[in-house]
Structure 1
């Protein structure tokens, strides 16, 4: 999906994020959010417990604990959460929990309602010095808010004065949403059962060089007393993948999640490890590398058909076309768990075979590895793909022991 930014959310909130936006520096497709799966909240919590998948990294300066639970309002589903520390530059700090890990977008996005009053973050500036704001457009709506600067700490790694997107900012300068943004549909910021999104994908910025030279995408705005207008923004003020700004461990991440049994699990644990091949806890080992094409995709062979494939922890289901599996509403719902075999393939010809199971959803808790839904002409490998695996995501042009990114490895 050309220049689409993937950000994921909860089925119970009726969202699967797929955003129309940049992809600064290229390498990763960005894909947005469409309201689907309405009314698919689990009926009861399962008693199943997630199972181990090998050694879990111990506490370290490059490890963020991950939890998959029901979110801040109890409706989240298949959403991997971490806690980040956000500070006024050089000043007061606050821990912000329940921030979704999204391996297919770039930058930290926080709901204004999640920030305590003590965090008065200064605004970032457009090229002409106006207060910067951002509109992120999704298939089902948009998010709107300021771009501000914050010191951000991920595990033991600190980043000074990083641009972050503050969604639904209550500052009067950002109160009126430009028509070029609101025309995208519903304002989605308050529908997210999370306090924010941590984009740690393959791109360095969420837009990149195109927003430095042109305001045409209408992604960034300059705001003042007379309102907001599309504006160019220097790279230093664009919402940026925080991993790229780290002093160390800055070439990518590894997302590790426990395996989830059929029937789902009430909670799942894991870790987001910063860096690839930069420490003993993030070595590639025998992982197989799949580098995407320029649009951020590989291909998958499913039931004899070759289709584009995207990999995205921020989406909460497996999406693919299938005319044989029965559907209940927006989901596949086979009478019995159904196993399928697929083969992922990179443009360079590297292949990885894998199997997955699809089942109906009467008793899922916060996590399920077997949820799937129809999607036309392409496939999306959301969080179920990550359960029971260590998945590496290398940033575009960043050097790793296996060569420069971008690539996935698992």
Structure 2
């Protein structure tokens, strides 16, 4: 998920997701025609292979600092959407709701839930954050590469696996009228908002990136255009620019765990070249805090990043790009490559006539460079085989970076270590790192 507040755009509610949903719903499964040999052809006339069986890397028993991560049909039958279950409670009470199909996003910050995912009790029980100086209820216009989401900032106790964070500012998307949005950027006042479960193909987004706050010091001035203070209610609600202190901004819940708050580790199983019908892995909280989250002393590459999780530099086929990041919130590998044709009718993905290889190189601020071998298959063909977990789909990206989306994570254990500072700048080295 590509977050616009990290200087490099970064909140990406599954970049290319709209195209992928259309492909799965409109071309998947029953759109192939069965031949006498039992194989099938896709809508472009190419062969369609059946997706592989479900795969899993789950241990026999999950520890208290672990939670299962599932890529399957989920809420909207969209590919490569890793999800977990999250429990939110009215702070300090046992009034709670467990919400399934919340997307795991290693490249945005904060928990964001859709209003339609909350039951009536929780819609009203979670208190709205009130800005400490103005006394106004806080709302947020959060930016996505393919749109915006608009909603109030609430406070909740958040439990994931066996870990709990108390009084966490979260966003509830879709609980305010669009007509109330205003301010410097006016970004949420017009256009179609991504603030429903159908729009983001999940019941919410769990942003667990390196940064603690979603926009930090930038949003402590009203001109950021991100946060707003609201007056009125219902259709008469009106909101204007607001400066919000970091402690009231939408926050990475993992950073507020009492322990195991130094980072996350995602372990996902490998999938076949034709994908898998589902893939189940697990997320471990903390790095270096328990016996199950120790960084290996050898056999692993560690790339230090800036405050937002961006590596220092990257290149593809000898051509430098502005940077790179590792992002479970993107459902493909997204990068600019003029030699790869886009899918007809689905410009969010590449459709080469046969699978091609690419080997981008990434360099951390610590000087460590890694070449990463990747494959890009015809997205139309693979999306039609009945699966949901694919390690070889990608598409064009015009923002000048290399987005190592969900396909990168299959068959790997990836460590995302957090910057302990509350603030930081893009392109400036920190002790945060990604390792694999």
**TM-score, scaled to structure 2:** 0.81
1:361-380 superposed matches below 5 A? 361=379, 362-364=381-383, 365-376=387-398, 377-380=400-403
Q: Are 1:196 and 2:204 an aligned pair?
A: yes
Q: In angstroms, what is the RMSD of aligned CA positions?
A: 2.5
Structure-2 residue corresponding to 1:352: 370
Q: Are 1:78 and 2:92 an aligned pair?
A: no
The counterpart of 1:30, out of the listed 6, 10, 14, is 10
The offset of 1:395, in angstroms, is 1.2
Structure-2 residue corresponding to 1:176: 180
The offset of 1:29, in angstroms, is 6.0
Partner Cα distance (2:271, 2:393) in 1: 12
Cα deviation code 1:359-379 (max 9, x no counterpart): 113243211110011224431
Partner Cα distance (1:318, 1:247) in 2: 34
- 8 Å Cα contact 1:29-1:296 kept in structure 2: no
The offset of 1:147, in angstroms, is 0.6
Whose Rg is larger?
2
Structure-2 residue corresponding to 1:405: 431
The offset of 1:175, in angstroms, is 6.6
Cα deviation code 1:245-304 (max 9, x no counterpart): 111001110111111110111111001110011112212113221012467432333222
The counterpart of 1:337, out of the listed 348, 351, 355, is 355
Partner Cα distance (2:64, 2:84) in 1: 14
Q: Are 1:131 and 2:137 an aligned pair?
A: yes
Q: Are 1:65 and 2:72 an aligned pair?
A: no
- 8 Å Cα contact 2:306-2:430 kept in structure 1: no
Higher helix content, 1 or 2: 2
Partner Cα distance (1:194, 1:176) in 2: 25
Structure-2 residue corresponding to 1:163: 169
Partner of 1:146, secondary structure, is strand
Count matched residues: 382
1:39-118 superposed matches below 5 A? 39-41=22-24, 43-44=28-29, 46-49=50-53, 51=55, 56=59, 58-74=61-77, 76-91=78-93, 92-118=95-121
Q: Are 1:145 and 2:151 an aligned pair?
A: yes
The offset of 1:183, in angstroms, is 4.4
The counterpart of 2:415, out of the listed 392, 395, 398, is 392
- 8 Å Cα contact 2:304-2:365 kept in structure 1: yes
Partner Cα distance (1:300, 1:355) in 2: 14
Q: Which consecutive unaligned segments of at least 5 residues does structure 1 have?
A: 1-6, 8-17
Q: Are 1:304 and 2:318 an aligned pair?
A: yes
| Compared CA separation, residues 294 and 85, structure 1 to 2 (3 A) | closer
Partner Cα distance (2:361, 2:54) in 1: 25
**TM-score, scaled to structure 1:** 0.86
The offset of 1:138, in angstroms, is 2.6
